A and B are shown apart, each in its own frame.
Chain A
Amino acid sequence: MRSVIDDRNSAARPSLALAMRSLLLADSIVLLRSRVSVVLSILLPIVVLVVTTFGKAQSRLGGSDLVIGLALILGLLTSCLLGYSLTLAHDREMGVLQRLRVTPAPTWMIMTSRLVVQVATNLIASAIVMIVGTILHGLSLNAGQYALILAIAVLGAAMFLAIGQALVGVVKSSTAINAIGRVLFVILLLLGLLGGSGILGDTMKTIGDWSPVGALMAFFSSVLSQATWSAQDGYSLLACLGYIVVFSFIGIRWFRWDAQ
């Protein structure tokens, strides 16, 4: 029996590179065709950027650094928490994942392809939002700062994708995931914005600052306001990495490929 497998070992495994390329192409097409998700993750932030150029909204929200940070976060949050997790849950329910899983493509590859395409899209969307934002709000950043913002956007995407993955891991039905995803969206935003602002008291401020949106927000605004690296940034980074580790673990540990 061994000899058979040894003979076949190299010949019987289809090319991983070809499989990965095919998956990436297919996942990109699927993502681009889900217009709602693409439009929401670019248009919604831009609307926020445009609206805040009028009147006093900006100063009330706390300066253009915060507004651009908020816009970037809105884009990431919609496409990761609502877009990615819903598509995944839907594909699981329809048996798309099962069909992929009976092919010789390793399972990690099926998931990795989706995540790579998702992060790449987030990167492009964030770049657009960032450029529009700095133009509309008259900020001039150097190349290093632009790169830093994009790096933080990738960090944010990873964090929200991990949260989305955990959601799909813990909850089975796509209807429930849809509903919970929306509630989570609002809670995370409120926690990060209101909590972080200090309106709700000191305890809430601490919780808000350490929350996913709060930590990311602090990060964005310290780069956008051209502040130097501070201890607070270190904590924010730590918080983001912590969330990524914890939620990825939950999302991988409890993930089920079939909906039953």
Chain B
Amino acid sequence: MREMNESVEPPVLEISDLRVAYGSRTVVDGLAFRVDRGEIFGLLGPNGAGKTTTLSALEGLVKPLSGRVVVNGVEVQRYPIEAKALLGVQLQSSSFQAELSIEQIVKLYAGLYGVRLSRAQIRESIRTLGLGEELGKRFKHLSGGQQQRLALFIATIHNPLLLLLDEPTAGLDPQSRRTLWKRIEKLRGDGSSIVLTTHSMEEAQAVCDRVAIIDHGKLLTLGTPAELINKHKDDPEVLAVAHGAVTLEDVFIGLTGDEIRD
């Protein structure tokens, strides 16, 4: 059944030989992977590994030196507008217009994604976000976590086929984190795929169907969390850091080393 589906539908995301450089420095170096429909895919790596840059290439924010990024059969470089319409995006560092209220921001982005929402629908969705009290508050007056919640909501406003989340749980309280995972599960149930980055290996192990660990822009390993643990549990570097049963975090540190990145 699944095989049949795969032969008909293109993968939701397919990246091949992706290379991105800032000036003379190559920060994404020959990355390749694919994401299937309904999959939650974790992109893991230490600070500066190239996760955000990889996502930027998917979003069309940076121009790759080489490689192809194809979203559901649509090549991002050639058809940026069509590709962007399929993507829901939450950026690691970005902001909405500080002077707009939550309601105005929702209205703006609904319009940009071609979603027609009535005033009542907008208010209802803001209420379900737990921001009902802040309806008319300007973006700049929201707390960091509230801003993050709004950003995540905007990312899903058009029920995107592929959701790209860059450290979505950073700065969220445990309640919001749970709500976020529920939302992600629901979106997946509705047929979306999700690519996310996180520094919490626990979280990745718990929610991601597959993870890729990258460093210095190169793919180190890729598979389900269980597969990765199984594959690397006997590596000497992994054994050296494991206490008891090997976890995804042990594999991560074993593969990427334990010194802090600048």
Residues in A lying within 8 Å of B, measured CB to CB: 1, 4-5, 8-9, 12-15, 18-19, 21-23, 25-26, 29-30, 33-34, 91, 94-96, 98-106, 257-258
Contact = CB atoms under 8 A, between A and B. Distances in A.
B91 A13 contact: no
Given A4-B74, A5-B73, A9-B82, A30 B100 contact: yes
B81 A22 contact: no
A258 B63 CA distance: 13
Contact of B91 (A4, A26, A99): A99
Interface residues of B, number: 39
Contacts of B61: 98, 101-102, 257-258
B179 to A, nearest CB: 22
B12 to A, nearest CB: 12
Residue of B59, B70, B73, B111 with most partner-chain A CB within 10 A = B111
Contacts of A26: 97, 100, 104-105, 107-108
B86 A102 contact: no
Interface in B83-115: 84-87, 89, 91, 93-100, 104-105, 107-115
Interface of B: 10, 59-61, 70, 72-75, 79, 81-82, 84-87, 89, 91, 93-100, 104-105, 107-116, 158
A108 to B, nearest CB: 11
Contacts of A13: 81-82, 85, 114
Given A1-B10, A13-B81, A26-B104, A95 B113 contact: no
A23 B112 CA distance: 8
A120 B10 CA distance: 46
A30 B111 contact: no
A128 B175 CA distance: 52
Given A23-B108, A95-B91, A104 B100 contact: no
A102 B73 contact: no
A232 B84 CA distance: 50
